[in-house]
Each structure stands twice: as C-alpha cells, then as structure tokens.
Amino acid sequence: MTDPVPAQILELDIDAIAGAEGRVVVFSDDKGKLDQAGRRVNRLTRGALERFVASKAYADMKSGDAADLGFPTGMAADAVQVVRLDRKFDTAAARKAGAAIGKAKSGKDLLVLAGNLKHAHEVLLGLTLRVYAFSDHKTKDSDPEGPVTVMVTKPEEVQAAAADVPALAQGVFFSRDLVNAPSNVLTTTEFADQLVKLRDLGVEVEVLEEDQLEGLGMRTLLAVGQGSASPSKVVLMHWRGGSAETPFALVGKGVVFDTGGISLKPASGMEAMTMDMGGAGVVAGVMKTLAARHAKANVVGLVGLVENMPDGNAQRPGDVVTSMKGDTVEVINTDAEGRLVLADVLWYAQERFKPSGMVDLATLTGAIIVGLGHHKAGVFSNDDDICGAFLKAANAEGEGAWHMPLDPAYDEQLKSNIADMMNVGGRTAGSITAAQFLQRFVNEDCPWIHLDIAGVASVKTGTDFAPKGATGWGVLALNRLIADRYEDKA
C-alpha cells in the first residue's frame, strides 16, 4: 500500500536555505510582500524573486497558484517555487497551494519556507494528498520520494495543528489504492484480507462467508455474486474509540468488478468497472483514518464484497429474489446490482448494531454523472439534520456534494406486477429511484444518508489533490462528520 511522503516540521533556519537541494518553496501575498525567508531567497538570487513578484505573470496568478524560478543563482536548489496566497486566504486556498507544491515535487527533496504563514498545516495536508502515485504493478522500481521539510517560526504550534495529517493521508491513500487495484488482484478474498490487516491498528474485523450470509437471508446480495468464482463476503470493521453505546454506521458497496451480469455492459470502457467497489474503498479509508488518529468515536463499517459476472449460474433478468428484510425484488436489469448488495447490508447493519445514524456510499448510477458530472456526489437523506451536518463537513473539506430529492412519487416507477418492487425504475430520475429503492431498507427512525459517488470516486483527468484515477473522495468529509457529531468532546 502507498505510504504518505515523509514530512517534518522544524523551526525556521534561514542559514539553511542556500544549501538546500531539490526544491525550495516561498510564499508571497497579493501585494508581492516577502517574509523573512523570502527576503533571504531574494538576496541569494540577486533580486530575482523580487522582480518576479512585481511582474505581470505574478499579478495574473490566483491565490493558491504557484510558479517556478528554475536553477536559481546563489542556491543549490533546482528550483524556487513561488506560491501566491492573498492576505485573507482561507483553508481551501491553503490546501490548493499545498497541492500545487506537491504536484510539482517530482520526487525531489522539498523545503517549504512557511515562516509564520497561517494554515501551514493545511498547506501540508494539500501537499501530502497530491504526492501520490499507484505503482504496485509497475515492473520498474519507482525512485523514492524525497522528504518534505516545512520550516516555520512556531514549530510546536504547527506540529500540533498537523497531528492528524498522516492519519488523513493514510485513509485517503488506502481508499485510492483499493479503488485503483485491478480486479484480478483485488478479488473479494484479497479485499477482505486487506481489511483484516486493520486489526493491527486496533480495529475489530469480522468476515462473514457465503454460508453465514445464506443463514442470515442475504439473498439479494448473494444473487449478485452467484455467477462469479469469487465468493461473496460481508466484512465488518468496528472501531470502539468512544463512549457511545450505539455506533455510527458506514456501509459500502464493494462490487470488485461489474460486467453488468447477463445485462452485459458495452465493451468500451468496461475496464473502468474495477472502481465499482469505490464505496467500500471509502468506508475502508475512513476506518483506517479513525484508527490511525485514535478517534474517540464508536463507528462500525460494513462492506458487501461481490463480483457481478455473466456465468451460467448468474441471476437473470426476470428473477425474483428475497432480501434479508423479507421483501421480494423483481430483477429487471442485472446491471442494477449495487442496490441489491446494499439492501441486505443496510438491513443487517440496523438489525445487529441499532446505529445512531448511517451513511452508505456507492458508485451506484450513471444518472448521477449525467446530473452532477465529476465535481459533486449526490446526497440523499431521510433526515435534514444529519444531511446538513454532512454537507457542512463536505464543504469544509472541499469535497463536492449536492443535496438531491427523495419523494414517494418516485416509488411508482419501482412497482412490480409479480414482486414487492423492481430493482430499476426506468431511465428517468435514475439516481433518485435508486435512492428510493434503498430507503425501503432503512428504518424510519434511523437517520440515513445515501451518497452516490459514481462521478467522483475515480476520474479520467487529475484533480487538484489527486492524479488520474481514484480520488479517495469522502474520507475527509466523513471523518469530519464523525469528529464534529459523533466523537467524544472531553
């Protein structure tokens, strides 16, 4: 698994600047003002830095943008990176700046001259999240990442503020690694094995096998995987760090590969369906972050791990399956399989744990991409309070999310002539009817959020904080939601 780049926070030493190798980062504001470290760099470079911050190129930069001065005279560094942060910059700009620094790092040693910069820990978080590459299957060994040194005037304060940065990055990277992994490697068994390793961090992990799932009546989940050679599983991860008697629950869709089953997907683009376990990947990442930062919260994560294949034993369109709840479902389209997996796991989570609240995550529908693109996840909820808290957390973490409707009127599209419901409701309002389907497996007294992350779990072009591929979207927002709402405050 990918480890975050090593970083240390030290007291500012301007005498060390001239001999620093690799890359050196300085900051300036919208007026081109230089701090103590910036003035030293300017003297070393014989005024080059001062000339740059007075230029039109610098004036055209936005807060959080960065530019390079290559091979600076009077310094051992390969480049000085100049980052603009306007005087009233916020957390988002600080993280954006950090991401720009991380993107340009290119494996080299890095000295960040943050001085008395506010939000220096947020700069470090943005930097750390962007220095990521999935190279598990490259035959050529990657060059090791050079270390990061952040120099500040008050190192103890910044160290305290940045205490959770490694844990946040570990959770995001765990999620990304899982989602980026090819399906012949990350089988349902290997996925479960990776989650079992969380025991080393103090997480209780339990793996339910097919015979146990059959005994529990999880027939909608099992029906999805019955055409695959990989056994279906449900993995439970419990972090008991808080005093609350009832846990907060996270539920993730873990379809390690989705061919669509008998309702076969088109060949073009099917290789991307290695990411259809993105919801389970985010749940795993959140659980790792909670354990790594020793969160004072009681949280359980449940993931349904299956593979949807068109074998001779696969479920067919027209089949009727019975959920753990006891409701029957007419399977109209075997490619609408994620909701069948989540239906049983949601019900099981409530039956066993009686959670104080519940969030499920799934790369569930193409319809949400049509509606929101790749910038925001769809948020559906039966409770305005928890929904508002999540949207606030997502906004604070810069993870795009948009509140979508739930309404009984959409249930008409799910009516079946031969069963309690169909698993699809036609082309119109596809993401909403999927959420309406899931809501039938949520008790009215359980605050619940459904996150459709099909558009944000993995992207074809890089984002500010991640290269092309898996993003880890949701780890930061859910960690913040838990910290703000479900963690002991004492």
| Domain presence at residue 56 | yes
Q: Phi/psi of residue 301, each to 5°?
A: -115, 130
Mean pLDDT value across residues 87-114: 96
Distance (Å, whole) CA 426 – CA 419: 17
CA distance 361 to 480: 16
254 plus 297 within the same structural domain? yes
> Cα angle vertex 425, ends 314, 223, to 5°?
20
pLDDT over 70, % of the chain: 100
Give residue-wise pLDDT tens across range 147-176. Answer: 999 999 999 999 999 999 999 999 999 999
Identify the three-state secondary structure at position 67: strand
Whether 2 is covered by a domain: the verdict is no
DSSP H helical ranges for 217-324? 219-225, 278-292
- pLDDT at residue 136, as a whole number: 85
pLDDT reading at 129 higher than 90: yes
Residue 408 lies in a domain: yes
Q: Are residues 232 and 269 in the same domain?
A: yes
Note the pLDDT of residue 142: 74
Write down the pLDDT at residue 254: 98
Note the pLDDT of residue 98. Answer: 98
How many other CB atoms are found less than 10 A from the CB of residue 288?
28
Quick check: 272 and 382 in contact, CB under 8 A?
no
For 192, the enclosing helix (H) or strand (E) is: helix 188-196
Q: Which two tokens stand for residue 288?
A: 């790792």
Q: Are residues 236 and 250 in the same domain?
A: yes
334, 317 Cβ separation under 8 angstroms: yes
> Residues 332, 230: one domain?
yes
**Residue 149 and residue 180 in one domain:** no
Residues recognised as catalytic: 265, 339
- Phi and psi (nearest 5°) for 395? -65, -40
The proportion of the chain whose per-residue pLDDT surpasses 90, expressed as a percent, equals 97
Strand duo 23-28 + 66-70: pairing: unpaired
**For 338-380, how does the pLDDT look when each residue is reduced to its tens digit (9 = 90+)?**
999 999 999 999 999 999 999 999 999 999 999 999 999 999 9
Residues 73 and 220 occupy one common structural domain: no
Q: Is residue 250 part of a domain?
A: yes
| Contact of 249 with 349, CB cutoff 8 Å | yes
pLDDT of amino acid 1:
81
Last residue of a domain, one of 142, 162, 182: 162
What's the confidence (pLDDT) of residue 194? 98
* C-alpha distance from residue 299 to each of 171, 238, 239, 349, 474 (Å): 15, 6, 5, 12, 16
Same domain, 115 and 205: no
- pLDDT of 278 reads 98
Q: Is residue 73's pLDDT more than 80?
A: yes
Which 8-state DSSP code applies to residue 401?
E
End position of a domain, from candidates 127, 162, 197: 162
Residue 142 sits in a domain whose CATH number is: 3.40.220.10
Residue 385 lies in a domain: yes
Sequence-ordered list of residues with C-beta below 8 angstroms from that of 295, at least 6 positions apart, any chain: 239, 241, 242, 289, 479, 482, 483, 487
| pLDDT surpasses 80 at 143 | no
pLDDT band (50, 70, 90) for residue 273? very high
User: Could you write out the DSSP letters of every residue in 134-168?
Assistant: --TT-SSPPPPPPPEEEEES-HHHHHHHTTTHHHH
Task: Say yes or no: 112 and 172 in one domain.
Answer: no
Q: In the predicted model, is pLDDT for residue 138 greater than 90?
A: no
| Residue 418: alpha-carbon gap to chain centroid | 39
Interacting residues of 23 by C-beta distance below 8 A, sequence separation 6+: 77, 78, 79, 80, 81, 104, 105, 108, 109, 110, 111
Does residue 429 sit in the same domain as residue 354? yes
One domain for residues 257 and 352: yes
Contact between 28 and 38 under an 8 Å Cβ cutoff? The reply is yes
- Residue 373 is classified by DSSP as T
Q: How far apart are CA 459 and CA 256, in angstroms?
A: 17
Domain-embedded: residue 1? no
Q: Which of 95, 64, 67, 71 is nearest to 81 (CA)?
A: 67
Q: How confident is the model at residue 91 (pLDDT cuts 50, 70, 90)?
A: very high
Does residue 405 surpass a pLDDT of 80? Answer: yes
Residue 479: what pLDDT?
98
Tokens of 161: 């503020």
Q: What is the per-residue pLDDT across 170-224, written as a single tens digit (0 to 9) for each? A: 999 999 999 999 999 999 999 999 999 999 999 999 999 999 999 999 999 999 9
- Find the CATH number of the domain harbouring 302: 3.40.630.10
> What pLDDT does residue 77 have?
98
Q: How many CB atoms lie within 10 A of CB 79?
A: 19
What's the number of domains the chain is made of? 2
pLDDT over 90 (residue 144): no
Please, which residues have CB within 8 angstroms of residue 136's CB and are 6 or more apart in sequence?
Answer: 177, 181, 185
Residue 377 belongs to some domain of the structure: yes
| Cα gap 374→338, rounded to integer Å | 19
The residues, any chain, with a CB within 8 Å of residue 329's CB and separated by 6 or more, are 220, 320, 321, 322, 323, 340, 343, 416, 419, 420, 421, 422, 423
Residues of the domain holding 211:
166-485
Q: Which residue, 89, 44, 26, 102, is CA-closest to 62?
A: 89
Is the pLDDT at 110 greater than 80? The verdict is yes
- Pick the last residue of a domain from 140, 162, 184: 162
- Are 271 and 388 contained in the same domain? yes
Q: Please say whether the beta carbons of 76 and 57 come within 8 A.
A: no
Give pLDDT tens digits for 324-338: 999 999 999 999 999
Is the domain of 385 the same as that of 298? yes
The first and second tokens of residue 458, run together, are 């993995």
| pLDDT per residue as tens digits for the range 472-490 | 999 999 999 999 999 998 7
- 16 within some domain: yes
Mean predicted confidence (pLDDT) in 113-121: 97
Beta strand ranges found along 214-291 (DSSP E)? 233-240, 248-258
Non-local (6+) Cβ contacts of 184 within 8 A are none
pLDDT digits (tens, 9 = 90+) for 19-67: 999 999 999 999 999 999 999 999 999 999 999 999 999 999 999 999 9
